[in-house]
Structure 1
Amino acid sequence: APAVPDDCVITLSVADVSKTFKQVNIHKAAGPDGFPGRVLRACTDQLASVFTDIFNLSLTESVIHTCFKQTTIVPVPKKVKVTCLNDYRPVALTSVAMKFFERLVMAHINTIIPETLDPLQFAYRPNRSTDDAISIALHTALSHLDKRNTNVRMLFIDYSSAFNTILPTKLITKLRTLGLNTSLCNLIQDILTGRPQVVRVGNNTSATLILNTGAPQGCVLIPLLYSLFTDDYVAKHNSNIIIKFADDTTVVGLITNMTRQPIGRRSETSPST
């Protein structure tokens, strides 16, 4: 796809912001700024124009105010009896307004990404779902098994903290190759860097830590960005296929004559690089 002109800046309308605010889940907890979603929904007519100006200024300057990037991590036990740190799930409380801003940016990105993306990535693509990914995996395996002297091996890959290990500089390089312009790339880099984070347990709050890698849990943009980041993570051998749904990956190895063949080879840029 041809590169988007560098002077092309997204401009949001009051109608865009108003429509998004009316979709807020009023039962979600407020972020570190204490601004609850129910206020955005109840006062959409009064606040939409104000936030439209704020969002458009951020888009023009490619900068997000620090108050929108703050994150409070609340450890929530996964089980009744906690024996180690892994028994906690870190729940991230982020700005409700920021989530809606990210949704608007994500909607724009979906309109400009090239149609030549990996067809076996099923996350954040029109008319695709996990059901489609499962169907492709099963159809590929069963079709191969219909042949004589064949075997199939499946490898299910679960990357540990995949979203938290993304390096923004490498992500931006990849996004540029996919046609995102300088203004949008700079905005995304600013969203993912210089993020103040604290951990809250009961009435106790830790000192602030500034993060410059990865993204907080619940970040609306990051699953889409991760799928773009790993777009060229594809099978390099015709004996297998790699099916992806964001960071969930399944390798289907098609074996003929009951001899082992290579599972595949990572592309030069894979989730671990």
Structure 2
Amino acid sequence: MQFVCRANMSADDAVNMGLHFILEHLDSAGTYASILFVDFSSAFNTIIPELLSSKLLQLNVSPAICQWMYSFLMGRTQKEVERLELWCGRHNLELNTLKSVEMIVDFRRHPSPQLPLTLSICLVSTVETFKFLVITVSQDLKWAININSVLKKAQQRMYYLRLLRKHGLPQEMLRQFYTAVIESFLCSSIAV
């Protein structure tokens, strides 16, 4: 499920897909979702070109890679963390345990306590919110924190628009500045 740097795909699609799977799972009675956000240390600097080339040939490039990533990452439980670590070791990818966090989404009336999650013998911290790509996701799956963040940044950018107007920038240039710097930011991830 590669979303970045692909035609007709965006971070919005990744967030929407993730939320869809979480909410679909949570529709079943007595369920919860535990989300592990993993960060790789210098992932692009540790790629072994020969290994990558052979994998790309085996997987027929773009569609096959996406399908492989999807089948590898989807439907995994916490017991799968060890397999993720082994896979990363075999493919020269180092997990950044300091930036990896877990978020538990649990709407059950009486949630049971979860065992702590470890990654590469380090305890993974549990968070209530996490900035996933460009969206702040909260464990209650509500958008107040993200909306407040977007509004604050938009207000900061409006300051520059007022300065430009004060210094006599033509109306058309003000409109272009607004569209490029403010409106584009307000509309990013609007589908989510």
TM-score range, shorter chain: 0.3 to 0.5
Structure with the higher helix share, 1 or 2: 2
Normalising by structure 1, we get a TM-score of 0.27
TM-score when normalising by structure 2: 0.37
